[in-house]
Amino acid sequence: MSSTTAPASPPRSRTHYLYLAVIAAVALGVVVGLVFPDFAVELKPLGQGFVSLITMMIQPVIFCTIILGVGSVASAAKVGKVGVGAILYFLVMSTFALTIGLVVGNLLHPGDGLHLDDAAVAAGAEQAAAGHGSTVDFLLGIVPDSLFSSLTSGEVLQTLLVALLIGFALQQMGPAGKPILTVVEYAQKLVFRVLAMIMWAAPIGAFGAISAVVGATGVDALKSLAVLMLGFYVTCALFVFLVLGTVLKVFTGVNIFSLFRYLAREFLLILATSSSESALPRLIAKMEHAGVDKTTVGIVVPTGYSFNLDGTAIYLTMATLFIAEALDNPLSLGEQISLLVFMVIASKGAAGVTGAGLATLAGGLQSHRPELVDGVGLIVGIDRFMSEARALTNFAGNSVATVLIGTWTDGVDRDRLDKVLAGELPFDERTMIDDAPAPAREPEPVTA
């Protein structure tokens, strides 16, 4: 009687203890924030330090990923097809997000009966100063001072531009560019291993961030704004599970709950840090592991973090209506649409930065309706809580977009995707990147 030996499974990863520790740290942070609020506020640097550690890895991750994704395919048409499809999809989804935010905001009228005090006025003016900027400044800011400064500037779009240029240059080099791609591939593995080490500080960062925000706001400060918060959370949930879930199921057959279960740890990380950018490197690694090709992941994920801002669109919509009503100066439908379109455009590139949505809101009001800027101070106290839902929604939108666009451009290994989502091919949490990925399709030879 013959028997077959099943392949040995990899050792069980210990990182599940890490994410249990994150949950415990969040719970402890809430308790400390309520019981010892003054002490809790002093813990804010712990959260800031962890997010800074993650943020310092973002540009190297995007740089390596895009170069590999673009440089490893022979045809520039493939890259163009993915890029155009991504931008069109992002525009459609942003429109849906704006529409659902407008509908819910106009139904709830969350700002009725609220009034400003001097502290709120001062807070609104401060955020307006941080968020004001012209479209020309934004466009010029995409171009870095030098090729290498794009890795150290802190501007994701600068890294995106330079990585695309290098990727296309490697395409033109043909076989001569393969050694460079090999070096970049090893650099990517190194970057992900460093990131895996940093992740062990997540419980400390989560504890500091949650403690500080609960200590600063308390429970009573949230009561008068409960309608806005609840309405925003419900609107985000409707958009994610009804709009995104339906689109994903109809066009790919993938169940959104299966996808989110696979990305559960990334959602937890975002909830703890209030920044979708903290999970960007892990989303890249997990999408490649799930069978989405490097080109699609390398273009859709970084671009989506700058241009696919579904949660930010909903936030800007509802917060604008809230402020206008709180100041007894409601906006007409035409004013709502023009102002919100401006703010969604102005928010490009700031999706992963905690508090950027608040600055964008204030800057947009300053440009279009200066008399409403003071109202931004009304929501400063709860922006941190709304920022979490905003970041979670942005992340959900980008994960769905990656699978959708990969399917439309024939960039998904569907058999592998099904196995990964079913739990048959677990992600290797120890290294943050597969050292033995599924066999890749050989690129077509480059003709001179």
Q: What is the dihedral of CA 136, 139, 143, 149, to 10 degrees?
A: 90
Reported as a single tens digit per residue, the pLDDT across 92-106 is 888 888 888 888 878
DSSP state letter for 8 = P
Query: 447 pLDDT band (50/70/90 cuts)?
Result: very low
The confidence score (pLDDT) of residue 339 equals 73
Averaged pLDDT for residues 4-30: 65
- In the block, residue with structure tokens 């690694």: 285
Average pLDDT, the chain: 76
Which of 138 and 253 is assigned the larger pLDDT?
253
Q: Rounded CA gap, 425 and 186, in Å? A: 23
> SS3 for 111?
coil
pLDDT more than 70, % of the chain: 73
Res 442 pLDDT > 80: no
Does the pTM exceed 0.75? no
Highest mean pLDDT among 64-73, 82-91, 239-248 belongs to: 239-248
Which domains, and CATH codes, for the chain? 16-421 (1.10.3860.10)
Res 421 pLDDT > 60: yes
Q: Which helix (H) or strand (E) holds 321?
A: helix 310-326
Res 274 pLDDT > 60: yes
Res 350 pLDDT > 50: no
Among the ranges given (137-146, 250-259, 291-300), the one the predictor scored with the smallest mean pLDDT:
137-146
Which of 2 and 387 is assigned the larger pLDDT?
387
Contact 313, 103 (CB under 8 A): no
Res 57 pLDDT > 70: yes
Which of 134 and 296 is assigned the larger pLDDT?
296
The confidence score (pLDDT) of residue 351 equals 47
Res 156 pLDDT > 90: no
> SS3 for 141?
coil
The two three-digit tokens of residue 227, written as one number: 């309608």
Among the ranges given (118-122, 134-138, 197-201, 359-363), the one the predictor scored with the smallest mean pLDDT:
118-122
The two three-digit tokens of residue 391, written as one number: 């970041």
Reported as a single tens digit per residue, the pLDDT across 224-267 is 456 777 888 888 999 999 999 999 999 999 999 999 999 998 89
* Residue 281 buriedness (CB in 10 A; 0-12 / 13-18 / 19+): buried
Closest CA to 380 of 322, 305, 293, 314: 322
